[in-house]
Amino acid sequence: MMDEAGTPPDGKRQLWLYATGEHSCSYLDDRLARTVFADPEYPMNNRVYGALLRQGMRRSGGFVYQPGCAGCSACKSLRIPVERFRPNRSQRRCWKQNADVKVVQRPAAYSEDQFRLYKHYLRSRHPGSGMDSPEPEKYMEFLTASWSNTLFCEFRLGRDLLGVAVTDVVPDGLSAVYTFFNPALTGRSLGTLGILWQIEEARRLELPYVYLGYWIAEADTMRYKARFRPAEIYTGGRWRILQSGGEQD
């Protein structure tokens, strides 16, 4: 595995990739999936992970992965070029409507308040899926990694915790790991707010990109990411601008 300069990300040791066997796709019911993982024994760090993000990979806990499905390329890594982003009318309305919300950035440490909200969110959004009865240890394993620069960004209204955007800070941007929120507050569009805040925070930090993970045009639960424009997708070994009719240089 090489970085954009054509050398291993740490300049010393080649990074090997390993593929799982085929399994049911989590997003497209008629598909089989295969996942490609970076060698878990590789000495991962935040700089190396940033290089892998630029090549379309992503982390889940401490595992860095990308889809490697035979005959399917529906999953595309998507990022927002911060300086070029222009919110649409709905996004501007969301931002204005949540002007009373305060964001508090906290280190990646366990919080009972956050975990309680996480359980409430999963029970509402993923009932009966096996995800809706999490344990604290699994929760932290999913969202954090020992080598990552991760923040738990709380969205609060007074003392009330409305949502949490788990965010990695990488050399060229912010990476949205996972966002969970009070599912009863549908009028606030807290998922949209989380992305808008990450874009504005990247702008404040003078970081060029916000990485939103995998976008799947055919999956209802993943299609929303393309509403943030302009967006770039990683395809054919390079980042390309995503247009309404497909991608182009």
Angle at 18 between CA 13 and CA 22, to 5 degrees: 170
H or E segment to which residue 158 belongs: none
Q: What is the mean pLDDT of each run of 10 residues along the chain (249 residues)?
A: 48 86 93 96 96 98 96 96 98 98 98 97 81 86 98 98 98 98 97 98 98 95 94 97 68
Q: Per DSSP, what are the bridge partners of residue 86?
A: none
What's the pLDDT score for residue 6? Answer: 39
What's the pLDDT score for residue 1? Answer: 53
Residues sharing a CB contact under 8 Å with residue 60, sequence separation 6 or more, in sequence order: 142
Residues sharing a CB contact under 8 Å with residue 10, sequence separation 6 or more, in sequence order: 43, 45, 48
What's the pLDDT score for residue 147? Answer: 97
Report how far residue 196's alpha carbon sits from residue 184's, in angstroms, rounded to the nearest whole number: 20
What's the pLDDT score for residue 111? Answer: 98
CA proximity to 15, closest of 60, 72, 55 = 55
The top-level CATH class assigned to 80-212 is alpha beta
Please tell me the pTM assigned to this model.
0.92
Q: What are phi and psi of 234, to 5 degrees?
A: -95, 115
